[in-house]
């Protein structure tokens, strides 16, 4: 039985070794002359106005996460719309519960001030 796993083991070793070998080969072959011009941020030939590693407020990330959550959850309405006639009133009740949960989450986020940009 263990002999059947030998090809899988060989494939896993090759898959793990390939990126390492390629990166090492690239490091040996490529020229490496770090000068300040090469390490500088490129903005269409214009000198960088500021450091590109600026800080963002946590509010930006909260709004982005909320957008993804509500956007992905509304995508779940598509399969319901496709099978609307087959689901009947049970499907309508399920979607009503689903949308009620979405609305409660949206109102909670609104009351917490998650959508305020200032």
Residue 37 lies in a domain: yes
Write the CATH number for 12. Answer: 1.20.58
Average pLDDT, stretch 7-30?
94
Enclosing domain of residue 60? 2-112
Residue 117 lies in a domain: no
CB 88 within 8 A of CB 110: no
pLDDT at residue 5 tops 60: yes
Residue 9 lies in a domain: yes
Percent of the chain with pLDDT over 90: 20
Backbone angles phi, psi at 116, to 5 degrees: -80, 125
- Strand, helix or coil for residue 46: strand
**pLDDT (tens digit, 9 = 90+) per residue, 47-100?**
766 666 667 777 777 778 888 888 888 888 888 888 888 888 888 898 889 889
Residue 102 lies in a domain: yes
Confidence of residue 1 (pLDDT cuts 50, 70, 90): low
Average pLDDT, stretch 11-29?
95
Strands (E) in the chain, as ranges, are none
Residue whose token pair is 């909260």:
62
Average pLDDT, stretch 33-44?
74
Residue 118 lies in a domain: no
Across the chain, what does the average pLDDT equal? 82
Kindly report the pTM of this predicted structure.
Answer: 0.46
In the chain, the number of structural domains is 1
Beta bridge partners of 46: 43
């Amino acid at each position: 039985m263990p002999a059947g796993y030998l090809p899988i083991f060989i494939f896993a070793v090759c898959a793990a070794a390939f990126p390492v070998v390629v990166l090492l080969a690239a490091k040996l072959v490529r020229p490496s002359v770090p000068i300040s011009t090469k390490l500088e941020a490129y903005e269409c030939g214009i000198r960088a106005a500021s450091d590109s590693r600026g800080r963002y407020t946590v509010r930006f990330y909260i709004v982005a996460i909320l957008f993804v959550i509500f956007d992905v959850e509304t995508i779940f309405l598509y399969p319901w719309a496709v099978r609307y006639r087959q689901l009947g009133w049970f499907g309508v009740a399920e979607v009503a519960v689903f949308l009620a949960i979405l609305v409660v989450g949206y109102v909670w986020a609104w009351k917490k001030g998650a959508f305020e940009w200032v």
